[in-house]
Amino acid sequence: MLTKRIIPCLDIKAGRTVKGIHFENLRDAGDPVQLGEYYASQGADELVFLDISATQEERKTFAVLVNEIARHLNIPFTVGGGISELKDVGPLLEAGADKISINSAAVKDPAFIDKLTKEFGSQFIVVAIDARKINNQWTVFTHGGTRATEKKLFSWAKECQSRGAGEILFTSMDHDGTKKGFATDPLVKLNQLLSIPVIASGGAGRMEDFLEVFTIGKADAALAASIFHFGEVGIHELKQYLQEHQIPIRT
């Protein structure tokens, strides 16, 4: 049976993880390669590495890092952050990325999705959508959630699918950082609307939140960052818990 996926997300700047990550058994928690291996050993099903570098120089470091990650990691990983042109993608694939995640560039030029899926295949392309509820409408934001757009979550997600996206990574900005649970309502609707997998992001605080995102929200995968990084929820114990609650999970 296909299992639900647990995906830690790592923010990278200039080749280093940025959030204050503390694990006693890691010598250098700022090293994304070591941290990736650690999460893989804990049972993470995939990893996402998000490049939040500001400068071109830092971005070059990222491609080198992707190569190091691929060399050491035996689970799938997605890289994203700042991918805006076709020429950004080849080096990441060549470096060993399993998938890439695009966001603002797809909103700006939706045909970019078609181009990428034609060149690299649907399975390689994740479209990340950040949205927030405004006047009862889920509105899509870009540029790290700073710019509102004309696009609405559901129609945009559907369009991404028809243009060839292999997965949708949906982040509810209303829930992100609150640790009060995932946005299950829009997830239910996304699941009904789409025939491609949906990754839920934003709001994870407790193990119960993951149970809800799978049972109520019907998500195919759940992504979280700080609760894993700060050790508030351990991946191993989370997966045990989900299995005890009859969620299909890889343990």
Partner 1 sequence: MKVAVIRYNAGNIRSVAFALERLQVDFEITDHPETIQSADKVIFPGVGEASSTMNYLRNTKLDEVIKSLKQPTLGICLGMQLLCSHSEENNTNCLGIFEDVVKRFPAGNIKIPHMGWNNLQKVSGWLDSALEDQYVYFVHSYYVPVNPHTVAQASYGSPFSAAMRKGNFFAVQFHPEKSASAGIKILRCFFQQPD
Catalytic: 209? no
Which position among 197, 234, 243, 247 is part of the footprint of partner 1 (CB under 8 A)? 197
Q: Which of 11, 45, 209, 220 is catalytic?
A: 11
Let me know: does 4 contact 242? Beta carbons within 8 Å: yes
Q: Is 96 in the site for partner 1 (CB under 8 A)?
A: yes
Let me know: does 217 contact 187? Beta carbons within 8 Å: yes
Q: Is 124 in the site for partner 1 (CB under 8 A)?
A: yes
Q: Which of residues 22-61 bind partner 1 (CB under 8 A)?
A: 40, 45
Q: Is 231 in the site for partner 1 (CB under 8 A)?
A: no
Q: Is 87 in the site for partner 1 (CB under 8 A)?
A: no
Identify residue 40 by its one-letter amino acid code: A
Q: Which of 31, 51, 130, 209 is catalytic?
A: 130
Q: Is 91 in the site for partner 1 (CB under 8 A)?
A: no
Radius of gyration (C-alpha) of the chain in whole angstroms:
17
Residue 182 structure tokens: 């995932």
Q: At closest approach, how far in Å is the CB of 135 from partner 1?
A: 31
Q: Decide: residue 188, CB within 10 A, 0-12 exposed, 13-18 middle, 19+ buried.
A: middle
Beta-bridge partner residues of 132: 139
Q: Is 76 in the site for partner 1 (CB under 8 A)?
A: yes
Q: At closest approach, how far in Å is the CB of 147 from partner 1?
A: 30
Q: At closest approach, how far in Å is the CB of 173 from partner 1?
A: 25
Q: At closest approach, how far in Å is the CB of 191 from partner 1?
A: 9
Catalytic: 130? yes
Q: At closest approach, how far in Å is the CB of 137 from partner 1?
A: 26
- Return d(Cα 18, Cα 153) in angstroms, integer: 29
Residue 201 structure tokens: 């992001």
Which position among 2, 25, 135, 146 is part of the footprint of partner 1 (CB under 8 A)? 2
Which position among 42, 84, 122, 240 is part of the footprint of partner 1 (CB under 8 A)? 122
> Toward partner 1, which CB reaches closer, 107 or 194?
194
Let me know: does 215 contact 187? Beta carbons within 8 Å: no
Residue 76 structure tokens: 């799938």
> Toward partner 1, which CB reaches closer, 122 or 240?
122
**DSSP H or E run through 148:** strand 147-152
- Return d(Cα 10, Cα 39) in angstroms, integer: 11
* Site residue total, partner 1 (CB under 8 A): 32
Let me know: does 105 contact 128? Beta carbons within 8 Å: no
Residue 15's nearest CA partner among 53, 47, 62 is 62
Residue whose token pair is 């790290």: 144
Catalytic amino acids?
Answer: 11, 130
Contacting residues toward partner 1, per CB under 8 A: 1-5, 40, 45, 70-72, 74-76, 93-96, 98, 120-124, 166-167, 194-197, 220-221, 250
